[in-house]
Structure 1
Amino acid sequence: MKPMLLLLAALCGAPAFAQPPAAVDNTADIDNSGSGYQGNMTVNQAAGDMQQQANARAFAAGHGASASTQIRQRLNVPADPAMDAKASIGGTAFSHGSGALGVNQSAGAGTQQANALRISIGAQPQSIDDSVLMQQNVALLNNSDSAAISAGHRQVTTSDQAFTGGRGVVQLNQSAGVGNRMANTLSIRVAD
């Protein structure tokens, strides 16, 4: 009886080994999500390969308050520039919300996205220097020769109802393709 079970198990398992490897899905889709959010909401959605996304929030209150953020993204892996990619935000996604919203959506490969928000409430005013604006270090280390390789089809869409009726800070990075680099940085300092 045991040899019969072994034969049956071998026959039932064979089709699983004959399947081709799954293709990478390069489609990112957000539909009717996040509407009516309140407070701090962050979303990272990536489809494809080798994506880097970050949403950083820093809040500080007090006499010498100083909120800070620092994001460093490095990517040193080649990606296929001929791939098709699609990113979409549809319906009423993120509509009628209030607060701080950070959305990174990417389809494809080798994309780097970052949203940084810092808010300081202190007793003394502080100046904002260039280091605040340059604090994002988003660098694609491996560039390819685009003339030698044909590009795939890329599509990015956002519904006309998405993000409507909102209040506060909205940071959005949305991309489809290969090797995109995006960053949003907002720094607010308030003195009592």
Structure 2
Amino acid sequence: MKRTLLILAMFCSAPTFAQPPVIDTATIDNSGSQYQGNFSVNQAAGDQQQQANARAIAIDTDASATTQIRQRLRTQVDPRIDAQSAIKGNAFSNGNGVLGVNQSSGASNQQANALRISISATPQSIDDSVLKQQNVALLNSSDSTDPTPGHRQVATSDQAFTGSRGVIQLNQSAGVGNRTANTLSVRVAD
């Protein structure tokens, strides 16, 4: 009798040890309006996400601002994921400055926003060394690109970002193994 109760207790408590399901829905609703200056947001729902917002500003006689972002994922993920990413309402509206938003849902997504501003007394030509500064390396060993089951949805409200001024960098993805990046480099000779 005691063994039967012990076995029943083990099977009844098994769900207690199970991990909760991963939530694959990312939502930003009416957030970040009237931002000022440098504003960065990273939002991820799901599993094994990588996101970065990098800013570099250099002011000098011979200034040169640089950024370098390296992201690496080596994962095995079940591609049958239902994922949703949404920016709703008047999110990030009527702002002023530099805005970087990374929003992803699903699994193994990589996102990066990079901004470089250089103010220098001497003009500089655009050569290979300057172009190398546009470095955003998103490295991913992904599986085949065959269609997989699962529902993916990305939505942005018509009112989001309205009336904002400056630099807006947005990466928004839903699914598995997405890689997105925005880079902007500005050089001003004084």
Which TM-score applies when normalising by structure 1?
0.87
Q: Which one-letter code corresponds to 2:32 in the other structure? A: G
Alignment of structure 1 residues 170-181 onto 2, 5 Å:
170-181=168-179
1:106 match: 104
Displacement of 1:128 in angstroms is 3.0
Q: Which one-letter code corresponds to 1:94 in the other structure? A: F
- CA displacement, residues 58-95 of structure 1 (integer Å, 9 cap, x when unaligned): 01111111111000011111111111000000000000
Displacement of 1:125 in angstroms is 1.3
1:138 equivalent in alignment to 2:143: no
Alignment of structure 1 residues 62-77 onto 2, 5 Å:
62-77=60-75
Q: Secondary structure at the match of 1:132?
A: helix
1:184 match: 182
1:157 match: 155
1:55 equivalent in alignment to 2:56: no
Q: Secondary structure at the match of 2:124?
A: coil
2:6 match: none
1:40 equivalent in alignment to 2:38: yes
- Going from structure 1 to structure 2, the CA distance change for 1:18 and 1:79 (only over 3 Å counts) comes to closer
Q: Tell me, which stretches of 5 or more residues in structure 2 are unaligned?
A: 1-8
Q: Secondary structure at the match of 1:33?
A: coil
Q: Secondary structure at the match of 2:40?
A: strand
In structure 1, C-alpha distance between the alignment counterparts of 2:80 and 2:152, rounded to whole Å: 10
Q: Secondary structure at the match of 2:133?
A: helix
1:128 equivalent in alignment to 2:126: yes
Displacement of 1:146 in angstroms is 4.1
- Going from structure 1 to structure 2, the CA distance change for 1:67 and 1:146 (only over 3 Å counts) comes to closer
Confirm or deny: 8 A CA contact 2:23 2:45 kept in the other structure.
yes
Confirm or deny: 8 A CA contact 2:68 2:133 kept in the other structure.
no
Deviates more, 1:24-33 or 1:120-129: 120-129
In structure 1, C-alpha distance between the alignment counterparts of 2:126 and 2:114, rounded to whole Å: 15
In structure 1, C-alpha distance between the alignment counterparts of 2:13 and 2:56, rounded to whole Å: 48
Aligned positions, number:
177
In structure 1, C-alpha distance between the alignment counterparts of 2:119 and 2:181, rounded to whole Å: 24
In structure 2, C-alpha distance between the alignment counterparts of 1:66 and 1:151, rounded to whole Å: 47
Q: Secondary structure at the match of 2:94?
A: coil
Displacement of 1:168 in angstroms is 0.2
Displacement of 1:127 in angstroms is 2.4
Q: Which one-letter code corresponds to 1:140 in the other structure? A: N
Q: Secondary structure at the match of 1:67?
A: coil
